[in-house]
Amino acid sequence: QAQLRESGGGLVQAGGSLRLSCISSGTISSAINAMGWYRQAPGQQRELVALIGRDRTANYGDSVKGRFTIFRDNTKKVSLQMSSLKPEDTAVYYCLLQRATGPDLWGQGTQVTVSS
């Protein structure tokens, strides 16, 4: 059974930067269609941050375009470089793995807090 492990969250002042990383481990029984990041603030819906496919085509949520960059180091690792952070970026960030067969795989999440 595959699992995801996120790292890199923390506390940062507005305007600062953080880099999140997600590493998958274990056996994945089918092709990986995409990996990426969602985030969820308390009482809010989980929303797309960034997603990258096997061809390394990236899609971003509107609120992070121009500030965040997703990249895939290899087939088992994806990173998110966050710059010009704003207080409204405060959320738990979750790594997502979409596979061709079977349910999506989610990490446990890492907290990002941006202070004013």
Q: What is the DSSP string of 82-95?
A: E-S--GGG-EEEEE
Q: Give the torsion through C-alpha atoms of 84, 19, 69, 30, to 10 deg.
A: -150
Mean pLDDT of 13-21: 98
Residue 11: pLDDT band by 50, 70, 90 thresholds? Answer: very high
Q: What is the pLDDT of residues 34-43, one digit of tens each?
A: 999 999 999 9
pLDDT surpasses 80 at 75: no
Instruction: Name the nearest CA neighbour of 49 among 57, 86, 58.
Output: 58
Tell me, what's the pLDDT at 28? 73
